[in-house]
A and B are shown apart, each in its own frame.
Chain A
């Protein structure tokens, strides 16, 4: 729950499948975040559960909620209860492994997608209360965003003027930047910008950003 801007539907909501906003609604959103970030081509998913998630996931239905999320269901979808059967029908194998993920929030999960060719990719995310989530790592790289806003993750070579070029491309698309965080491996090496926006970023703007010299990848994740 944020101190600023508590709307009536933050108090009176979400409309959700029970029993717990952090263990079910948040878990479902983490699953959906993984699908949105890692793509929809996978035939096996490994869930590494940490802390309270590891301890109570069966009783809270966290496992069913996570599976519902990777299948793309919303927090209020009454099929969440039957997500295991739906995964099976879609020939998706799911595994739950209890694991210590280190100094992270008690409700944290690492979600690993395995493709047909056995290649793997993962996200780590936490359910931080009231159904809110935070994605904290993608394929080994630390990030932080909540999925409440459309989010751009841009990798580029750390040099002068890069942020101004990127933000100009976003502004020319008539899109407002809500938050911007920049991190780098070290001076002059690869840097990552996580940019939350007020509106969905269209393909042509993502294209424009990709064309900026020094930008190596642009990933867009719509609000979750």
Chain B
């Protein structure tokens, strides 16, 4: 079993394979399941992701509390008009990330990846990047395995929970997972993939978890949009040869330490940050969550 990025890189060099192969091998061994069984389960995950990333694009989804909704559709319609700042790819990814997160807030079906609050990032990243290279289903399954491997390392050495580490642990981890997945999908090396993960996680280091009214809606939904863009630009940097000065394993440790230093007000308790603004307090009162 691997415990660090270094372990995984060693294994990929030893066997001359990709990160996703190492992750699949390990999963088969620990769960006593065949490769086909594991891949089939990943396929089920992928199908739920595809659906959640899509359903908000055409239908305006409202959250249970009524605070958020309809933004995925707005971005998608805006994109289709053809005049955007960031172009088609980025706006597609943003719309998809918003879609999953709106589905989540509306009590729809999603995959917590790694958490429900950050469920929009990985699907939007792999589906949108996959489209560019006409990736088939097998390659998307590989990408999800790569993403999970990155998540496993963060879970082992730090945390994936906003209550423990702030938003950097949720959206930051999702970004790091997505970044590596994109790099491998595009044929980058394991080292490049971890560079992408390191860059993505560094970019969100210190981000607090401050949900308005304690709900997984504001600012979570738009942070999913930010997370996927971060993952894609980090992947591009790594694929171009840009390296992270601080290696991934050290970034993970730093993220965990930063999380521990965050006061509890900024770790999912809805007592600080955006949650403590006058508008947030007003919203909380209006929906009876005060």
Contact = CB atoms under 8 A, between A and B. Distances in A.
A200 to B, nearest CB: 16
B117 A20 contact: yes
A130 B115 contact: yes
Interface of A: 1, 3, 5-21, 24-25, 52, 55-56, 58-61, 64, 76, 78, 80-81, 129-131
Nearest to A18: B104
B109 interface: yes
A7 B152 CA distance: 7
Contacts of A17: 107-110
A59 B45 contact: no
A131 B112 contact: yes
B45 to A, nearest CB: 6
B119 A18 contact: yes
Contacts of B151: 11-12
Interface of B: 23, 27, 30-31, 38, 41-42, 44-45, 48, 63-65, 103-117, 119, 122, 144-145, 147-149, 151-152, 155-156, 159-161, 163, 177, 213-217, 287-289
Contact of B215 (A1, A25, A60, A64): A60
A134 B289 CA distance: 26
B171 to A, nearest CB: 15
A66 B116 CA distance: 18
A14 B112 CA distance: 6
B27 A56 contact: no
A20 B159 CA distance: 17
Given A19-B105, A19-B117, A60-B214, 9 more contacts: A7-B27, A8-B145, A9-B148, A13-B113, A16-B111, A18-B107, A18-B116, A19-B217, A60-B216
Contacts of B217: 19
Contacts of B44: 15
B196 to A, nearest CB: 17
B45 A13 contact: yes
B145 to A, nearest CB: 6
Contacts of B144: 12
